[in-house]
Copies of this chain bind each other. A is one copy, B any other.
Amino acid sequence: MCERKTDYAFEMACSNIRYGAGVTREIGMDLQNMGARNVCLMTDRTLSQLPPVGVVLDSLTKHGVKYKIYEDVRVEPTDKSFKAAIDFAKQGHFDVYVAVGGGSVIDTCKAANLYASHPEAEFLDFVNAPIGKGKPITATLKPLIAVPTTAGTGSETTGVAIFDFENLKAKTGIANRALKPTLGMVDPLHTLHMPSRVAANSGFDVLCHALESFTALPYNLRSPCPSNPINRPAYQGSNPISDVWARHALKIVAKYLKRAVRDAGDVEARSSMHLASVFAGIGFGNAGVHLCHGMSYPIAGNVKTHRAKGYNVEHPIVPHGLSVVLTSPAVFAFTANMCPERHLEAAQILGTDVSSIKKDDAGRVLADTLRSFLYDLEVEDGLSSVGYTKEDIPSLVKGTIPQERVTKLSPRAHTEEDLTALFAASMKLY
Q: Which residue numbers of A lie inside 8 Å of B, CB to CB?
A: 1-2, 7-14, 16-23, 25-26, 29-30, 33, 219-220, 228-230, 239-241, 244-245, 248, 275, 278-279
Contact status of A275 and B8, CB under 8 A, knowing A16-B13, A33-B228, A33-B229: no
B-chain residues with CB within 8 Å of residue A244 when the two chains form the complex: 244-245, 248, 279
CB pair A8 B33 closer than 8 Å: no
Instruction: Report A351 CB to chain B, min CB distance, Å.
Output: 21
Q: Are A240 and B13 in contact (CB under 8 A)?
A: no
Query: With A244-B248, A244-B279, A279-B244 in contact, is A239–B29 under 8 Å at CB?
Result: no
Given contacts A1-B26, A10-B19, 20 further A-B contacts (CB under 8 A): A1-B29, A2-B26, A8-B22, A9-B18, A9-B20, A9-B26, A11-B17, A11-B19, A12-B16, A13-B17, A17-B241, A20-B219, A20-B220, A29-B228, A30-B229, A240-B275, A241-B279, A244-B245, A244-B248, A244-B279
Tell me, in angstroms, the Cα distance from A245 to B219 when the chains sit together. 21
Known: A229-B26, A229-B29, A229-B30. A20 touches B10 (CB 8 A): yes
A269 CB, min distance to chain B CBs, angstroms:
14
Q: Which residues of B contact A2 (CB under 8 A)?
A: 26
- Chain B residues near A220 (CB, 8 Å)? 20
Most central of A2, A17, A240, A245 by chain B CB within 10 Å: A240
> Which residue of chain B has the shortest Cβ distance to A184 in the bound complex?
B12
Residue of B nearest to A2 (CB): B26
Residues from chain B with Cβ under 8 Å of A219 in the complex: 20
The residues of B that contact A16 with a CB separation of less than 8 Å are 11-13
The residue in chain B whose Cβ has the minimal distance to the Cβ of A21 is B8
Q: Complex formed: what's the CA distance from A23 to B9 in Å? A: 6
Nearest CB of chain B from residue A32's CB, rounded to whole Å: 9
Contact of A239 among B1, B11, B14, B19 (CB under 8 A): B19
Nearest B-chain residue to A157, judged by Cβ = B12
Instruction: Assess A25 versus B1: contact at CB under 8 Å? Given A239-B19, A240-B275.
Output: yes
Q: Could you write out 26 A-B pairs with CB less than 8 Å apart?
A: A1-B26, A1-B29, A7-B20, A8-B20, A8-B22, A8-B23, A9-B20, A9-B26, A10-B18, A10-B19, A11-B17, A12-B17, A14-B14, A18-B229, A26-B228, A26-B229, A29-B228, A29-B230, A30-B229, A30-B230, A33-B229, A33-B230, A241-B279, A244-B244, A244-B245, A244-B279
Question: Which residues of B lie under 8 Å from residue A23 when comparing CB positions?
Answer: 8-9
User: A29 — which chain B residues lie within 8 A by C-beta?
Assistant: 1, 228-230
List B contacts of A275 (CB < 8 A). 240-241
Distance (whole angstroms) from the CB of A242 to the closest CB of chain B = 11
Q: How far is the CA of A2 from the CA of B28 in the complex (A)?
A: 13
List residues of chain B with CB within 8 A of the CB of A26: 1-2, 9, 228-229
